């Protein structure tokens, strides 16, 4: 740790920072479980960037602070508990580190400072209608015409594509041979002629997903990362970045705090929800799981800090952390009862006797649906099971 | 003192080697068949290995090895299905006596606990199976010859054959004062009722009828409960490590079995449904183990409650899934899995059931301001 020797002191300074500097409108949006706008998020990025806390886990060379994993995790936790929005990991944890490792010097100079400033948004063009977990079967093709690739096809489930300035995409540059060996990794400007974004409204009412269509989109060859047909290696390396964060300890603690707040403030049949046996047992069960998850994550953190390699075993953190978030959201909805039913928090806030806590209720159902994404995106739980079965248990 | 990593590894290796010889199925059976499940010569052998003194301070002839090292040991003993009440006696009860014993009594007892010449057991449970650390049902009365105890203590593993028993009782006069006593098992009026348990170990309950006890420590109920809870957490964490060792062994047996057993022309383990269920067990165990070692290093009440709840669930899931993945053979007495199944099933409810741990954790998280 180069900046703060005392982790808890550091936590306090982050707590204070979030309390004082997180814009009130954004905090409200996050607390109410509503979707933040691009403008709100970019504004927050700029506040963080000014503090040096937008990409602290990056090396100093690129505007980072070389934070250790444990410092990064403490930071994430304080942010989550302070009702700050989850940062777009595609931008800060994926493409940034990919460019540092595989990007050309020109690509690095062109993109990394802008990403570190917080003003550029990236999305990930991996999945296609017929290539979800089975990514190697992507068919969006890029044909070489002199110094450009001409890209045709479509990507789907592109998270926050509607906010994005750039997309990094896996495209097919060769149809012969093994499917993995005919894929290239391209950086594509979302303003390029021929790109159409179709937002897909989710069951939660949010637009997270998009379908992105490419119709003769011309991409300069110098925006390819890695070798032609060598994109699979680059794509796979994404899975190695920030895997410890996938335990989502902070996000789980945020939900626990909400579940607790709802339990302590709501009454059912003359009895506080937090005094009902069903609530207590479920809360304690999830809390016990969270304490265990945290102890397990610390084991991997210690390993990483000691310079040891983090093996495929780390998949268990994602498996458990993502599921646990869903279980918290279910408990919150159950604890709210009919209060969770209205579509918008505004209705509740306008009821007689409403308190600000009621903001928690309005969109509990949205959050519960959103949480289902955690076990699908970034390698579904089934894929994590397969990884653990094959690479750890040797089955 | 904390053991460095090399010393810890030596401890684990020596425990493994010892167990191969001394905890074979034949040996385990012989110990189970012993009247109280703890033959004195074998107990002294544990003393010669140095293990009985690990929870005791160095100045009393112990090793003061620390709970993390003890957990690595009990994990191995759990794998080996050790029958003797190592956790109940050498960690929980020796630990409690070391907390409170003073003077001549301390000099008399502690070195002999290290060597295995004497064994002590804390009758930690009430007749109803609860802890009631701050309100024991037994009562103490003062007599000219000393303290007399009246009451019952619930079933405690390893109590039979102990030389001394630690019991709490309410003090006369002030209902909110609790005393901790040492009762000689030969004392008139103290009767242990032993029974084999279904996991091959033995346990006993205690009746005290005007039985003499030596007062070790006296405190207001809450202070006594705090002291007892601290010691109980140590025992509970070590018990969890033992249980997890047992669960890991049962998991490995199951893994080997599904790899070698063929149905429909292929190994059971080639089926994804089997693979994923094994992964779930594995992940739960690894997570619980990480929590156990964290709790051993720093045993906060929250962590201890979470650990108790998780390990109860892991134990139950492990034995249930192990049987299911084996099929009918998993339910037989003769197949090796059976003993693990029984041990895990019982272990899940010792030192508090999952439900009681969840109650405790709910209380800690919901009834206090963070």
- Find the mean pLDDT for residues A261-275: 93
Across the interface, of B275, B278, B291, the residue whose CB is closest to A291 is: B291
Chain A residues with beta carbon closer than 8 angstroms to that of B278? 389, 393, 395
Q: Is it the case that residue B145 has pLDDT exceeding 90?
A: no
Q: Is it the case that residue A339 has pLDDT exceeding 90?
A: no
- Domain limits of chain A? 7-87, 122-228, 242-392
Structure-token match 């979470």, residue found: B306
Chain A residues with beta carbon closer than 8 angstroms to that of B290? 292, 295-296, 298-299
Backbone angles phi, psi at A170, to 5 degrees: -90, 125
Across the interface, of B275, B291, B303, the residue whose CB is closest to A395 is: B275
8 Å CB contact of B283 and A316:
yes
8 Å CB contact of A284 and B359:
yes
8 Å CB contact of B362 and A283:
yes
C-alpha closest to that of A373 among A315, A323, A339, A337: A323
Its sign, for the CA torsion A295, A298, A300, A306, is: negative
Inter-helix orientation angle A249-265/A277-305, to 10°? 160
Predicted local confidence at residue A3, as pLDDT: 45
Predicted local confidence at residue B223, as pLDDT: 97
Predicted local confidence at residue A241, as pLDDT: 67
8 Å CB contact of B302 and A291:
yes
Q: How far apart are CA B275 and CA B267, in angstroms?
A: 11
Taking any CB pair shorter than 8 Å as contact, residues of chain A touching chain B are 260, 263-264, 274, 280-281, 283-285, 287-289, 291-293, 295-296, 298-299, 313, 316, 319-320, 382, 385-386, 388-389, 392-393, 395
Report whether B330 contacts B323 (CB < 8 A): yes
pTM: 0.93
The Cα of A47 is separated from the nearest Cα of chain B by a number of Å equal to: 30
Nearest chain A residue to B255 by CA: give it.
A393
Across the interface, of A283, A292, A385, the residue whose CB is closest to B366 is: A283
Predicted local confidence at residue A207, as pLDDT: 92
8 Å CB contact of B291 and A319:
no
Taking any CB pair shorter than 8 Å as contact, residues of chain B touching chain A are 255, 259, 269-270, 272, 275-276, 278-280, 282-283, 286-288, 290-291, 293-295, 302-303, 305-307, 309-310, 355, 357-362, 365-366
Chain A residues with beta carbon closer than 8 angstroms to that of B302? 291
The Cα of B1 is separated from the nearest Cα of chain A by a number of Å equal to: 22
Predicted local confidence at residue B150, as pLDDT: 98
Residue B53 CA: distances (Å) to CA of A349, B46, B170, B235 = 64, 9, 31, 15
Nearest chain B residue to A299 by CA: give it.
B290
Q: Is it the case that residue B8 has pLDDT exceeding 70?
A: yes
In terms of DSSP H, where are the helices of chain B?
A: 5-22, 25-33, 40-48, 67-79, 94-100, 103-115, 221-260, 272-297, 301-326, 337-347, 354-366
The Cα of B47 is separated from the nearest Cα of chain A by a number of Å equal to: 33
Predicted local confidence at residue A219, as pLDDT: 98
**Residues B182-201 as b or e (16 or more Cβ within 10 Å = b):** bbebebeebebebebbebbb
Q: Is it the case that residue A2 has pLDDT exceeding 60?
A: no
What does the mean pLDDT of chain A come to?
Answer: 92
The Cα of B310 is separated from the nearest Cα of chain A by a number of Å equal to: 7
Report whether B89 contacts B26 (CB < 8 A): no
The Cα of A391 is separated from the nearest Cα of chain B by a number of Å equal to: 11
Which has more pLDDT, B370 or A86? A86
Q: Is it the case that residue A179 has pLDDT exceeding 60?
A: yes
Chain B residues with beta carbon closer than 8 angstroms to that of A284? 305, 309, 357-362, 365
Predicted local confidence at residue B174, as pLDDT: 77
Chain A residues with beta carbon closer than 8 angstroms to that of B257? none
Q: How far apart are CA A315 and CA B279, in angstroms?
A: 11
Predicted local confidence at residue A5, as pLDDT: 62
Predicted local confidence at residue A361, as pLDDT: 66
- Tens digits of residue pLDDT in B120-129: 999 999 999 8
Across the interface, of B307, B309, B366, the residue whose CB is closest to A274 is: B366
8 Å CB contact of A287 and B259:
no
Report the half-sphere exposure of B2 (CA within 13 A, side-chain side).
Answer: 8
Across the interface, of B287, B295, B357, the residue whose CB is closest to A293 is: B287
- Tens digits of residue pLDDT in A107-151: 999 999 999 999 999 999 999 999 988 889 999 999 999 999 999
Chain A residues with beta carbon closer than 8 angstroms to that of B361? 284, 287-288
Percent residues over pLDDT 90 in chain A: 75
A242 classed as catalytic: yes
8 Å CB contact of A296 and B291:
yes
Predicted local confidence at residue B175, as pLDDT: 77
The Cα of A105 is separated from the nearest Cα of chain B by a number of Å equal to: 41
The Cα of B288 is separated from the nearest Cα of chain A by a number of Å equal to: 6
Which has more pLDDT, B4 or B102? B102
Annotation: CATH topology of A122-228: Butyryl-CoA Dehydrogenase, subunit A; domain 2 (2.40.110)
- Find the mean pLDDT for residues A52-70: 91
Three-state secondary structure call for residue A206: coil
8 Å CB contact of A287 and B306:
yes
Q: How far apart are CA B291 and CA B312, in angstroms?
A: 13
Nearest chain B residue to A295 by CA: give it.
B291
Chain A residues with beta carbon closer than 8 angstroms to that of B357? 284, 288
The Cα of A2 is separated from the nearest Cα of chain B by a number of Å equal to: 26
Predicted local confidence at residue B2, as pLDDT: 64
Nearest chain B residue to A318 by CA: give it.
B283
Residue ranges of domains in chain B, CATH in brackets = 5-119 (1.10.540.10), 121-220 (2.40.110.10), 226-366 (1.20.140.10)
Predicted local confidence at residue A360, as pLDDT: 65
Q: How far apart are CA B315 and CA B309, in angstroms?
A: 10
Percent residues over pLDDT 90 in chain B: 91
Beta bridge partners of A169: A125, A186
Structure-token match 């064994």, residue found: B119
Q: How many residues does chain B have?
A: 370
Q: Is it the case that residue A252 has pLDDT exceeding 80?
A: yes
Chain B residues with beta carbon closer than 8 angstroms to that of A133? none
8 Å CB contact of B305 and A288:
yes
Across the interface, of B259, B303, B365, the residue whose CB is closest to A284 is: B365
Q: How many residues does chain A have?
A: 395
8 Å CB contact of B255 and A393:
yes
Residue A281 CA: distances (Å) to CA of A138, A371, B362 = 46, 22, 7
* List A77, A242, A251, A329, catalytic entry: A242
Q: Report the CATH number of the A242-392 domain.
A: 1.20.140.10
Between A66-80, A191-205, B154-168, the lowest mean confidence (pLDDT) is in A66-80
- Find the mean pLDDT for residues A49-70: 92
């Amino acid at each position: 740790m180069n900046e703060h020797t005392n982790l808890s002191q550091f936590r306090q300074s982050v707590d204070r920072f979030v309390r004082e500097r997180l814009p009130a409108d954004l905090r409200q949006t996050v607390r109410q479980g509503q979707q933040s706008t691009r403008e709100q998020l970019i504004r927050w990025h700029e506040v963080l960037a000014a503090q040096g806390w937008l990409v602290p886990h990056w090396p100093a060379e690129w505007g980072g602070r070389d934070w250790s994993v444990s410092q990064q995790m403490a930071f994430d936790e304080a942010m989550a508990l302070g009702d700050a929005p989850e940062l777009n990991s595609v931008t800060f944890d994926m493409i940034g580190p990919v460019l540092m490792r595989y990007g050309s010097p020109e690509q690095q100079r062109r993109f990394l400072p802008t990403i570190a400033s917080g003003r550029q948004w990236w999305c990930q063009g991996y999945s296609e209608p017929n290539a979800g977990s089975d990514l190697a079967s992507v068919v969006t093709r890029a044909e070489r015409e002199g110094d450009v690739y001409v890209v045709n096809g479509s990507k789907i489930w592109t998270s926050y594509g509607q906010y994005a300035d750039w997309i990094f995409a896996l495209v097919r540059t060769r149809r012969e041979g093994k499917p993995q060996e005919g894929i290239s990794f391209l950086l594509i400007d979302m303003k390029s002629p021929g790109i159409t974004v179709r937002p897909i409204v989710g069951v939660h009412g949010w637009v997270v997903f998009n379908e992105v269509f490419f119709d003769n989109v011309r991409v300069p060859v110098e925006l390819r990362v890695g070798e032609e047909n060598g994109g699979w290696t680059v794509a796979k390396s994404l899975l190695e970045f920030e895997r410890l964060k996938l335990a989502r300890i902070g996000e789980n603690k945020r939900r626990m705090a909400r579940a607790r707040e709802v339990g302590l403030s709501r009454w059912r049949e003359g009895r506080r929800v937090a005094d009902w046996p069903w609530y207590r047992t479920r809360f304690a069960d999830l809390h016990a799981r969270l304490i265990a998850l945290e102890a397990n994550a610390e084991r991997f953190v210690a390993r990483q800090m000691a310079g040891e390699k983090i093996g495929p075993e780390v998949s268990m953190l994602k498996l458990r952390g993502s599921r646990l978030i869903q279980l918290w959201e279910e408990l919150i909805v159950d604890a709210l009862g009919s209060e969770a039913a209205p579509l918008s928090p505004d209705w509740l806030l306008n009821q007689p006797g409403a308190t600000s806590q009621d903001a928690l209720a309005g969109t509990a159902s949205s959050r519960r649906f959103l949480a289902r994404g955690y076990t699908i995106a970034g390698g579904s739980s089934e894929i994590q099971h397969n990884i653990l079965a094959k690479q750890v248990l040797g089955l | 003192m904390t053991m460095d990593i090399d010393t810890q590894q030596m401890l684990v290796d020596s425990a493994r080697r010892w167990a191969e010889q001394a905890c074979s199925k034949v040996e385990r059976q012989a110990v189970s068949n012993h009247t109280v499940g703890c033959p004195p010569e074998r107990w002294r052998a544990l003393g010669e290995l140095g293990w009985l003194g690990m929870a005791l301070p160095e100045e009393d002839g112990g090793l003061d090895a620390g709970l993390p090292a003890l957990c690595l040991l009990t994990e191995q003993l759990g794998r080996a299905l050790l029958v003797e009440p190592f956790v109940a006696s050498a960690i929980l009860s020796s630990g409690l006596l070391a907390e409170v014993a003073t003077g001549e009594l301390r000099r008399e007892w502690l070195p002999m606990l290290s060597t295995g010449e004497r064994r002590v057991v804390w009758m930690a449970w009430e007749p109803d199976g609860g802890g009631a650390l701050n309100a024991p049902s037994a009562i103490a009365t003062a007599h000219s010859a000393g303290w007399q105890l009246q009451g019952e203590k619930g079933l405690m593993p390893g109590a039979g054959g102990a030389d001394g028993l630690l019991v709490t009782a309410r003090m006369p006069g002030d209902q909110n004062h609790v005393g901790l006593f040492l009762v000689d098992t030969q004392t008139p009026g103290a009767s242990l009722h032993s029974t084999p348990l279904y996991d091959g170990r033995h346990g006993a309950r205690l009746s005290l009828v005007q039985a003499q006890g030596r007062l070790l420590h006296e405190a207001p109920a809450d202070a006594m409960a705090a002291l007892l809870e601290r010691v109980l957490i140590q025992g509970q964490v070590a018990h969890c490590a033992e249980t997890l060792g047992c669960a890991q062994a049962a998991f490995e047996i199951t893994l080997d079995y599904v790899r070698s057993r063929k149905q429909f022309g292929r190994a059971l383990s080639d089926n994804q449904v089997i693979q994923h269920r094994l992964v779930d067990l594995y992940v739960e165990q690894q997570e619980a183990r990480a929590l156990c070692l964290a709790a051993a290093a720093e045993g906060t009440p929250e962590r201890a409650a979470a650990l108790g709840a998780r390990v109860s669930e892991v134990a139950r899931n492990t034995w249930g899934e192990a049987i299911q993945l084996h099929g009918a053979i998993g339910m037989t007495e003769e197949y090796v899995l059976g003993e693990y199944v029984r041990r895990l099933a019982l272990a899940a409810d010792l030192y508090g059931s999952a439900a009681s741990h969840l109650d405790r954790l709910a209380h800690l998280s919901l009834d206090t301001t963070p």
